[in-house]
Amino acid sequence: MLVKIGAVIVLVAALAAVAGPSLTPFSPSAQDLPMRLEGPTRAHPFGLDELGRDVLSRILAGARISFLVGIVVVSVSAAVGTVLGAMAGYFGGVLDDVISRVIDTLLAFPGLLLAIALVAVLGPSLGSVLFALTIIGWVGYARLVRGQVLRAREFEYVQAARALGAAAPRVLFRHIVPAAMPVVVVQATLGMAGAVISEAALSFLGLGVQPPTPSWGTMLNGGRTHLLDAPHLTLFPGLAIALLVLGFNFLGDGLRDATDPKKKP
């Protein structure tokens, strides 16, 4: 049941992000200063912000940023982590030691703090956010895939492929890695939630997407000074972040249950 709820939330959010400009007649950057901080109305269901911009249109535009960051970070992190983790688990030796030490080093730092440090060095921008989150994101996939490969390389069908003379890259990426993909997909779904909330946190701190480009984290930061006189400025972006993260978590948990053989009848 939860996986269906999560899938619906993610699908609706994705459609809203794609069709955002056609869902509201207002531009995310259009200002109406005399009506600034106006609460929700029929014309502006989510109200106006401190510059008289339509909050709904900005939330829809911010959804594009969230999905862009999530897709890019998860795709690159999963690809890099899968390759490095598979090579470390299959070949072992010095290669495994080097990759494992790099993973341990990166995992020794809190992920968000490391991302903040990287963005601070590179300068606040969307590109810096993507790079920083990818640098800290691939290690989880690498550790997960390494464990799967260590277990799968002793399977009989893998040993049979070796006995038939199959080259190591073919055995690894044709027979072993595909068996690890279900757990990678689950990790990627949960990773989308992490990327969305990390991007919002960096933008909230002023280290992510820069104004006037709409971002849910930037909108929260702009609305925190109006919590009493205009609570809608933080309410709706906060709900958007919470619902999307909840949707990805529900979807990831459902996929994990579906791919776990111990929970199958």
Can you spell out the DSSP letters for 41-94? -SSSTT-B-TTS-BHHHHHHHHHHHHHHHHHHHHHHHHHHHHHHHHHHHHH-HH
Contact 141, 181 (CB under 8 A): no
**pLDDT at 14 exceeding the cut of 90:** yes
The topology under which CATH files domain 2-14+64-263 is MetI-like fold (1.10.3720)
**Average pLDDT in the 118-142 region?**
92
What integer best gives the mean pLDDT of the chain?
Answer: 89
Reduced DSSP (H G I as helix, E B as strand, rest coil) percent helix, strand, coil of the chain, to 5: 75, 0, 25
Q: Convert the pLDDT of each residue in 212-251 to its tens digit.
A: 888 999 999 989 889 888 999 999 999 999 999 999 999 9
In whole angstroms, what is the distance from residue 94 CA to residue 170 CA?
21
Give this prediction's pTM: 0.89
For the chain, what's the residue count? 265
230 with 47: CB under 8 angstroms? yes
The predicted-structure confidence for 159-184, as pLDDT tens digits, reads as follows 888 787 778 788 888 888 888 888 99
Q: Convert the pLDDT of each residue in 57-106 to its tens digit.
A: 999 999 999 999 999 999 999 999 999 999 999 888 899 999 999 999 99
pLDDT tens for residues 182-200?
899 999 999 999 999 999 9
Give the whole-angstrom CA distance, residue 39 versus residue 119.
35
pLDDT at 265 over 60: no
CA distances from 56 to 12, 63, 82, 264 (A): 15, 11, 38, 43
What residues contact residue 123 under an 8 Å CB cut-off, 6+ apart? Answer: none
